[in-house]
Amino acid sequence: MTGMPATDDAAAGQMQEQRGADPETRRRLAPAERTPQILEAALEEFAERGYAGARMAAVAARAGIAKGLIYHYFPSKAALLQATVRACTQPAFEELEQAERRVAGMSGSARDLLAALIEVAYARVRKEGRERHLLRLIVTEAEHFPELARFYREEVLSRATAVVRAVLRAGVASGEFAPEAVETPGLAEVIMAPAMMASVWRMILGEADAPALERMQAAHLDLLLKGLAASCKP
């Protein structure tokens, strides 16, 4: 996507950009600087107008560049959407990788690891509007954009549930969790669901009227730990 040769439109866009408004906008930026600028503008445009209503020209305007230049980086709106989602999920990937390494090394009890995963999940919900834009985009566009749904399932959901299952297995092996923790289908998805619902409520109700995240997180973890341990009892 980013290594395509510049088209005539892109070259014209570069010239127009250099002649454009303020010096900061005219300044030639390296792809490593320009690409995040475009992706941030694209997220705003997609979240506000949806995939069908979004326009490449509007993304360019939000980014402060000429329309032609955007095609130098992303040859189509579909490619721009995919790149936008990947950029937004990168922080979550990094957190998942840290969790995977921690689980693999079993540093700490399984209860502590589960608490850390729940903290990560709610920390994502607490992030600024960028995270909410992404969730809204996925919820509204996945049905009409199968590639987006597949990407989310394979790159985000499957990795997250795999980490949760690894923690559950570690807890069963250490005697902290009941055997049912690894025998119950869908348990990993259920463990993740309240944090996702917290984000949906914030989208629907707004931050002021949505349930307090701190209380939800505490209740969520308490319910999980008690439930997993309680099932060990006859």
| Domain closes at, from 55, 73, 91 | 73
For residue 3, is pLDDT > 50? no
- From 19, 54, 73, give the residue that closes a domain: 73
Nearest to 163 by CA among 124, 117, 119: 117
CA 6 to chain centre: 30
Tell me what the pLDDT averaged over the chain comes to.
79
**Per the structure block, which two tokens stand in for 30?**
């390296």
More confident position, 116 or 221: 221
Which amino acid makes up residue 143? E
How far is the CA of 213 from the CAs of 122, 197, 200, in angstroms?
A: 7, 11, 12
**81-85, 88-92, 173-177, range with the lowest pLDDT:** 88-92
- The whole-model pTM stands at 0.69
For the ranges 58-62, 67-71, 135-139, 178-182, the lowest mean pLDDT is seen at 135-139
Identify whether residues 127 and 82 lie together within a single domain: yes
| Mean pLDDT value across residues 51-55 | 89
Residue 162 pLDDT exceeds 90 = no
CB-based burial label for 110 (10 Å; 0-12, 13-18, 19+): buried
Question: Would residue 14 count as lying in a domain?
Answer: yes
Whether residue 3 is contained in a domain is answered as no
pLDDT at 12: 36
Do residue 122 and residue 148 come from a single domain? Answer: yes
CATH number for position 69 = 1.10.10.60
Residue 16 forms part of a structural domain: yes
Say which residue, 30 or 203, is predicted with more confidence. Answer: 203
Domain end residue (candidates: 32, 48, 73): 73
Q: Say how many domains are in the chain.
A: 2
Q: Is 98 or 206 the better-scoring residue by pLDDT?
A: 206
Please give the residue range of the domain that contains residue 107.
78-230
Residues 223 and 108 in one domain: yes
Clarify whether residues 86 and 201 are in a common domain. Answer: yes
Report pLDDT digits (tens) over 97-138. 777 777 777 667 889 889 988 988 888 888 766 667 777 777
- The length of the chain in residues reads 234
